[in-house]
Structure 1
Amino acid sequence: MRFINPKTDFAFKKIFGSEQSHDILISFLNAMLYDGNDTITAIEILNPYLAPRIRGIKDTYLDVKATINNTTNVIIEMQVLNVEGFEKRILYNAAKTYSNQLEVGEDYTDLEPVIALTITDFPMFPELNQLISRFILKEKTYLTDYPIYDIELVFIELPNFRKQLEELETLTDKWLYFLKTAKKLEIVPPVMGSVPAIQKAFEIANQANLTREELDDLEHHEIFIYDQRNAIKKAVKQGLQQGLEQGLQQGLEQGLEQGLEQGELKAKLAIAKQLLAVLDDEAIIQATGLSLEQITALRNK
């Protein structure tokens, strides 16, 4: 058997966000949020589209959105590329999901908690070096919890999950192994197939059960991710090489210190030039440290 990559946008939504996925999503969320305990007993998968209530605020599409036990809203995102502004987007989506619960005239006491669960295929918080991180509102000095425990951000960093098949013990282990390695597997390992929800997830992920249109969509998603990663790598590599060559040449002519300073600037400009077709101005500024005026000048050229 060949399985689709559950980390791609299309596959993740199909496996965890379709109408046939209720038991899969319950098992997955119990594993990710509640240490494998049967805390979630009922779930409703919702439309992932978040319509804005305020004119001028943009629309948002989540990967999966659900209500668990009729009380808590969960929004789930699988993120493969580490793009600029990603951290703010997570907070924005959580706040938007929280505020969108109320209609005109409804009381604030009607608001239900929101959990934003984000799985990343890259290190999100390298300084923490842990698999699962949870963030809530706390008082800055004494770190006491805010009285209303209504918004929680949960991050799972797949690169920090390093267990092999023979080391899988918990339900959390098995689901993370599924996310990370399903595409490379040719059979369903018995230790994972013994969990009915994971067995069903493998069945949905089986390429033999997909239509030609679905396989085409999946291929387009994977090509896009591959192209974006390579575009960034190429831009950085070419920018560094071009900048260093020019900097060294000027260093020989004008002195080492001045040459290194100019070389660093040219390296940044070269990197920015390569990223013009890939990222917006704000993202390029964050990546290179250049000013908006310098980026605008490059675009005008």
Structure 2
Amino acid sequence: MGEKELTKRIVDGLDVQQANPMNDVLFKFIFGKIERKNITVDFLNAVLEPSLGHKIKGLHFLPTEQIPQSEEDKLSRLDVACELDTGEYIDVEVQVVNYHNMKRRTLYYWSQVYLMRLPSGANYNDLRPTITINILAFELLPQVEPHAMYSIYNPETHDRLNNDMELHFLELPKFVKGVQKPIREMTKMERWMAYFANRMNQSEKEELAMSEAAINSAYDATGIFLQNKEDRLKYINREMALMDYRSGLAGAEERGEKKADERYSRLIQILLSQKRMDDIGRIAADEAYRKGLYQKFHL
């Protein structure tokens, strides 16, 4: 797909209902501004209130500008960092591309916030509980549920070391596949995941906006965002970079599949010439399994 076609496809989808909330430029505009902190507070309460044990009433945003550690960070990383009124630090990360290093990446992000906020000359008792929320556009973890929280536990007694680490994962594809219920029956967190997944039709999105005031405010903020020519251009450039990446990845995978098929065909011909039928059956089964996995994870 050429640049003009990519641009047209993205621009055609530029309206409040169709705009991608996982686009980092738009996400930061909605969730990283002090004038819209009520939206951020509502989302954080939806995810964190059960583990925090209390409602978040206020927050202030922390600096998030950091030098990217790699080329990957330029495409997939977004920080919205804040300090809660009760002292905890929060780091929200949106990840749209799976580089197969997310488990270590999230530990790195968490550690940056946990350690870098410690004042010079302070002691370990001044460290604050730190929570990272990862909103993922791909599947990562083994559980079926779309939301999982990790911390440090004793594997034998299940005793938790302390409350200083929480790593939350919201896997949007699992939500899309697993939640089959009307919007009115969804929990607050499910409604937020429906918002980020962005798979509903227009009437469903209107119902979603009516069901949650903060989500309605997020849609209103999107309308404001789209009125700014410079912000629209940044959004388009970001979407084009993502689409170019996915297109290149799909092409590489297709070329890899063709090479694998060629190797498979040559091997079968050799085995046929040697009349090794048992080996042919085993290899055919392995090949069917491989293709099944390819379709499962790349469709």
Deviation at 1:104, TM superposition (A): 2.8
- 3-state SS of the aligned residue for 1:49? coil
- Which residue, out of 145, 148, 156, partners 1:133? 148
**Is the 1:12–1:63 Cα contact (8 Å) retained in structure 2?**
no
Pick from 216, 220, 223: which aligns with 2:233? Answer: 216
Is the 1:43–1:69 contact (alpha carbons within 8 Å) kept by the matching residues of 2?
yes
From 116, 132, 136, give the equivalent of 2:132. Answer: 116
CA contact (8 A) 2:152 2:160 kept: yes
Give the SS at the match of 1:77. Answer: strand
Q: Is the 8 A contact 1:15 1:201 kept in 2?
A: yes
- Give the C-alpha shift of residue 230 in structure 1: 2.4
Amino acid across the alignment from 1:96: Q
CA contact (8 A) 2:87 2:128 kept: yes
For residue 36 of structure 2, what is the amino acid of its counterpart? Answer: S
Q: Secondary structure at the match of 1:119?
A: strand
Distance (whole Å) between structure 2 residues aligned to residue 251 and residue 34 of structure 1 = 58
Which string of whole-angstrom CA distances, capped at 9 and with x for unpartnered residues, describes residues 169-218 of structure 1? 32222212211227853785245335332221111112774311211111
Match of 2:254 in 1: 237
Report SS of the residue matched to 1:239. Answer: helix
Please say which of residues 170-179 and 131-140 is displaced more in the overlay: 170-179
Query: Does 2:120 align with 1:104?
Result: yes
Residue 198 of structure 2 aligns to a residue in which SS?
helix
Over the matched positions of the two proteins, sequence identity in percent amounts to 23
| Residue type of the alignment partner of 1:216 | L
2:29 matched residue in structure 1: 14
CA RMSD of aligned residues (A): 3.3
210-219 or 168-177, which deviates more: 168-177
Give the count of matched residue pairs.
257
Output the amino acid matched with 2:189. Answer: T
**Counterparts of 2:241 and 2:67, CA distance in 1:** 26
Which deviates more from structure 2 when the two are superposed, residues 196-205 or residues 165-174? 165-174
- 1: CA distance between counterparts of 2:50 and 2:157? 28
Q: Secondary structure at the match of 1:74?
A: strand
Residue 143 of structure 1 is matched in structure 2 by 158
Identify the residue that residue 157 of structure 1 maps to in structure 2.
Answer: 171
2:42 maps to 1:31: no
Aligned to 1:86: 102
Q: Distance in 2 between matches of 1:85 and 1:241?
A: 26
1:212-291 aligned within 5 A: 212-253=229-270
Aligned to 1:5: 20
Q: Which amino acid aligns with 1:224?
A: A
User: C-alpha distance in 2, partners of 1:228/1:26?
Assistant: 33
Q: Which moved more, 1:96-105 or 1:188-197?
A: 188-197
What is the aligned partner in structure 2 of residue 281 from structure 1?
A: none
Between stretches 176-185 and 127-136, larger displacement belongs to: 176-185
Structure number having the greater helix percentage: 2
Q: 1:97 to 1:2 in 2, by over 3 A?
A: closer
